[in-house]
């Protein structure tokens, strides 16, 4: 009888199912990360997303420090309609409701660079984080892209597809 030869990914999947190893962020992340700079224009960003067929990108400064993350949702919300706040009249005084949200919407609609629309409070994981931890964060925080850092520097990114491939043992 001839032995069956498994690919590295099939073997990793088999071992993971047996509980002998735990896949980590470094095992499933995309290492060649497409990034954007804060000064990148909105138009350039859209072209990057289309060219590389990605849904988002970490925003890094010229030293490679993570400054934010920008996604297709940020581009879409930049072009959304402005929500006019409700005004409450009370004792001859007009009280606008939701004006701070309106100010943020105006700022976002007037944006011309990535820095204006990116999320600056970025949730990241260490390259040693377990797949289970990554799945929990993505689910609880409702995020689709998770930058991976090692020693404070960006070393990769994990998207939903990377996570699914890692769980199923498919090659990245």
Question: Which pTM does this prediction carry?
Answer: 0.71
- pLDDT value, residue 4: 56
Predicted confidence (pLDDT) per residue in 50-65, tens digit: 999 999 999 999 998 9
φ, ψ dihedrals at 49, nearest 5°: -60, -45
**Residue 5 covered by a domain:** no
Phi/psi at 147 (nearest 5 deg)?
-65, 145
For residue 9, is pLDDT > 90? Answer: no
- CA–CA separation, 147 vs 56, rounded Å? 11
- Total domains, the chain: 1
Residue 16 falls inside a structural domain: no
Domain assignment of residue 4, yes or no: no
Query: Could you tell me if residue 11 is inside a domain?
Result: no
CATH number of the domain encompassing residue 70: 3.10.580.10
Does residue 158 belong to any structural domain of this protein? yes
Q: Are 154 and 67 in contact (CB under 8 A)?
A: no
Q: Is 17 within a domain?
A: no
Domain membership flag for residue 10: no
Percentage of residues in the chain having pLDDT higher than 90: 53
pLDDT-based confidence at residue 48 (cuts at 50, 70, 90): very high
- Report strand pairing: 66-71 vs 153-159: unpaired
Per-residue pLDDT tens digits for 106-121: 555 556 899 989 999 9
Instruction: Answer for the pair 121, 14: CB distance below 8 angstroms, yes or no.
Output: no
Q: Which domain holds residue 135?
A: 23-168
Crossing angle for the helix pair 131-141 and 160-168, nearest 10 degrees? 140
> For 41, phi and psi rounded to 5 degrees?
-75, 160
- 2 in a domain, yes or no? no
Q: Pairing between strand 125-126 and 93-97?
A: unpaired
**Strand 145-150 versus strand 153-159 pairing type:** antiparallel
* Total length of the chain: 172
Residue pair 96/112 in contact (Cβ under 8 Å)? The answer is no
Pairing type for strands 66-71 and 56-60 reads antiparallel
Which of 9-13, 78-82, 143-147 is the most confident on average? 143-147
Determine the Cα–Cα distance for residues 56 and 7; give it in Å rounded to an integer. 30
98: pLDDT strictly greater than 80 = no
């Amino acid at each position: 009888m001839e032995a069956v030869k498994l690919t590295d990914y099939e073997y990793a999947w088999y071992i993971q199912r047996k509980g002998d190893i735990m896949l980590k962020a470094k095992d499933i992340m995309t290492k060649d990360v497409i990034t954007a700079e804060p000064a990148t224009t909105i138009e350039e960003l859209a072209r990057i997303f289309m060219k590389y067929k990605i849904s988002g990108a970490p925003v890094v400064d010229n030293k490679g420090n993570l400054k934010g993350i920008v996604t297709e949702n940020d581009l879409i919300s930049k072009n959304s309609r402005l929500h006019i706040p409700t005004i409450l009249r009370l004792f001859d005084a007009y009280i606008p409701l939701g004006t701070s949200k309106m100010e943020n919407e105006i700022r976002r609609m007037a944006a011309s660079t990535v820095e204006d629309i990116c999320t600056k409070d970025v949730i990241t994981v260490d390259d040693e984080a377990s797949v289970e931890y990554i799945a929990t964060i993505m689910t609880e925080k409702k995020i689709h892209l998770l930058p991976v850092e090692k020693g404070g520097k960006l070393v990769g990114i994990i998207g939903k597809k990377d996570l699914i491939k890692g769980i199923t043992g498919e090659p990245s």
